[in-house]
Amino acid sequence: MWKRGTEVKLIIATIKPFKLEEVRVALTDIGIRGMMVTEIKGFGSQSGHTEIYRGAEYEVNFVPKIKLELVVPADQADQVVETITNTARTGKIGDGKIFVLDVSQAVRVRTGETNQDAL
């Protein structure tokens, strides 16, 4: 059965905190209507290293980042990735990472609408 809006993707992106407002505006400009924003700490290829303390290994040197989570129509995912990449890039280390995942279901709680209709 043909069903409208069956395909949505989850885009998880980490960016430098000072880039949040610029990225939000750029995403709004391409029609993105919702996202989750979380302050996180993490490390990538430079900043993380491990240390042994009382026999256990600890990771140190976490760097503050902003994590964005957006569920978008699958056919808009490339545009969203491109927009985040172009807007968040400074060209220096630590500009972040973007991951794209398949979503098996999205639901709007108020109405029970699903997938693209739930966005």
Ligand X SMILES: Nc1ncnc2c1ncn2[C@@H]1O[C@H](COP(=O)(O)OP(=O)(O)OP(=O)(O)O)[C@@H](O)[C@H]1O
Positions in the binding site for Mg ion (CB under 5 A):
44, 46, 93-94
Question: Shortest Cβ distance from residue 13 to Mg ion (Å)?
Answer: 14
Give the 3-state secondary structure of residue 26: helix
Question: Shortest Cβ distance from residue 60 to Mg ion (Å)?
Answer: 15
* Binding positions for ligand X, rule: CB under 6 A: 14, 40, 42-46, 63, 65, 93-97
Residue 26 vs 63, nearer CB to ligand X: 63
Residue 13 vs 80, nearer CB to ligand X: 13
Question: Shortest Cβ distance from residue 15 to ligand X (Å)?
Answer: 9
Q: Is the dihedral of CA 104, 108, 113, 117 positive or negative?
A: negative
Question: Shortest Cβ distance from residue 47 to Mg ion (Å)?
Answer: 6
Residue 6 vs 46, nearer CB to ligand X: 46
What is the rounded distance in angstroms from the CA atom of residue 99 to the CA atom of residue 81? 9
Q: 96 near 15, Cβ under 8 Å? A: yes
* Six token digits for residue 49: 């290293």
How distant, in Å, are the alpha carbons of 14, 15, 34, 71, 95 from that of 19?
Answer: 10, 7, 17, 20, 9
